[in-house]
DNA sequence: ACCTGAACACCGTTCAAGT
DNA sequence: ACCTGAACACCGTTCAAGT
């Protein structure tokens, strides 16, 4: 890559990171290009879709979340590990408002730039769920896809301003529904 | 209202009903005006906001759902009544894709045209929940706002194409979390 | 090889001009 | 009293023209 191209790309990523964090994942791409001092075509050349831009920005975080699942799998108790990971995953998507809807699409769309990341994330969660189930800590009649749906539902709720004051309660209720022991977490 | 104004209004409502049902609650208002054979300004004159248009279209359905809660309250067992109503409410919002996000905003925004309808709906659900709790059929540590959040989360999930095949399972899991008896519904 | 921005086809919203 | 559609300020996306 030519040096000027790399400079533009880096600048775009830096600005996009700020703008997405501020305005959510549906922020204007035109605005990002403008703030990066770059032509709109340059943004599209480097990142052909919004998903591609987000994927580049968030890949490291997705991988960190998957790695975190591996970590929790060897350290904490099976049920606690699962709940902690559900919580951290929900909080992560909240830090990138609007991304959970894109992730729900991407996980079924092999052409999406976010597809691989989402599949990886779901697999990481599935491993934690399976371990908890093996130890009788999580309900048996639940699979990784359903767990991903529940996390997505929590993440979406978290994004709703009307819901904010009840975020923790709702998390506990749904996490409680996943575990065998019904006591709040 | 002048006869021609009423004709335009009726025409707009008829077309909007079709277009929203087809394309979801975020359909283009310009498109609706065009299809109704009416100037865009006429749409705005009759319905100053998208919410106002939706409210006029859906008020009857909202009221029917609230009435249905009253009906279920006197007929069915408390737990079944609650779950059936949760289901019917979820299905209703699904028939109007995109409306649940607007409802979540509207319930906190007294200025929204949808505010009253949402508050009424939440109150109807709260009554069913309270009865179920009084009979020991629903968990005690839950209030009407939280129930509304759970229904909203289910409604949002229902709208996600990626989730569709698991819609029924997820409903059972969350409805199960509301009830005291953990058995699936 | 890469960048730019005009061009195109859309939005939501407002409002001057018409009947 | 009501209607119309141009006008304005935005989108996402593409692509001819420039360096």
Contact check, Cβ <8 Å, B150/A160: no
The reported pLDDT for the residue numbered A19 is 98
Written as one string, the DSSP assignment of A150-162 is HHHHHHHHHH-GG
The pLDDT value recorded for residue A1 is: 78
Q: Is the pLDDT of residue B185 over 50?
A: no
Residue A60 has pLDDT above 70, yes or no: yes
Q: How close does chain A come to B139, measured CA to CA in Å?
A: 10
From the CA of A153, how many Å to the nearest CA of chain B? Answer: 5
Instruction: Note the pLDDT of residue A76.
Output: 79
Encoded tokens for B77: 């067992």
What does each C-alpha distance from A68 to A71, A144, B1 come to in angstroms? 5, 17, 64
**Alpha carbon distance B34, B37 (integer Å):** 5
Confidence bin at B2 (pLDDT 50/70/90): confident
Q: Is the pTM of this model over 0.85?
A: yes
Q: What is the pLDDT of residues B69-128, one digit of tens each?
A: 999 999 879 999 999 999 999 999 999 999 999 999 999 999 999 999 999 999 999 999
- pLDDT at position A182 is 56
Residues in chain B whose Cβ is within 8 Å of chain A = 101, 104-105, 107-108, 141-142, 145-146, 149-150, 152-154, 156-157, 160-163, 166, 169-170, 173-174, 176-177, 182, 184
Q: Is the pLDDT of residue B54 over 80?
A: yes
pLDDT, position B155: 98
pLDDT over threshold 60, residue A183: no
- C-alpha B84/C-alpha B69 separation (Å) is 9
Hits for CB < 7 Å against strand C across B residues 61-100: none
Does residue B4 have a pLDDT over 60?
yes
A6 CB below 7 A from strand D atoms: no
Tell me if B161 and A101 make a contact (CB, 8 A cut-off): no
Mean pLDDT of chain A: 95
pLDDT category of residue A8 using cuts at 50, 70 and 90: very high
Q: pLDDT (tens digit, 9 = 90+) per residue, A115-154?
A: 999 999 999 999 999 999 999 999 999 999 999 999 999 9
Residue, of A118 and B4, whose pLDDT is higher: A118
Q: How far is B169 from chain A (nearest CA, A)?
A: 8
Q: Is A136 helix (H, G, I), strand (E, B) or coil?
A: coil
Residue B181 pLDDT > 80:
no
Distance set, CA A5 to CA A11, A12, A35, A48, B46 (Å): 10, 11, 17, 15, 51
With a cut of 90, say whether residue A23 has pLDDT above it: yes
d(CA B43, CA B15): 11
């Amino acid at each position: 890559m030519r040096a000027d191209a790399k400079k533009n790309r880096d600048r775009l990523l830096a600005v996009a990171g700020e703008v997405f964090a501020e305005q959510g994942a549906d922020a204007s791409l035109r605005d990002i290009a403008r703030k990066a001092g770059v032509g709109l075509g340059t943004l599209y050349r480097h990142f052909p879709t919004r998903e591609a831009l987000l994927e580049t920005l968030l890949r490291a975080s997705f991988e960190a979340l998957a790695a975190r699942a591996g970590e929790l799998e060897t350290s904490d108790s099976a049920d606690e590990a699962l709940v902690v990971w559900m919580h951290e995953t929900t909080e992560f998507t909240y830090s990138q408002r609007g991304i959970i809807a894109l992730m729900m699409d991407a996980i079924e769309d092999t052409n999406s730039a976010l597809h691989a990341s989402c599949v990886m994330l779901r697999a990481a969660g599935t491993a934690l769920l399976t371990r908890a189930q093996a130890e009788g800590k999580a309900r048996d009649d639940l699979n990784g896809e359903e767990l991903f749906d529940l996390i997505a539902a929590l993440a979406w709720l978290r994004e709703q301003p009307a819901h904010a004051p009840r975020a923790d309660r709702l998390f506990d209720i749904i996490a409680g529904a996943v575990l065998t022991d019904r006591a709040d977490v």
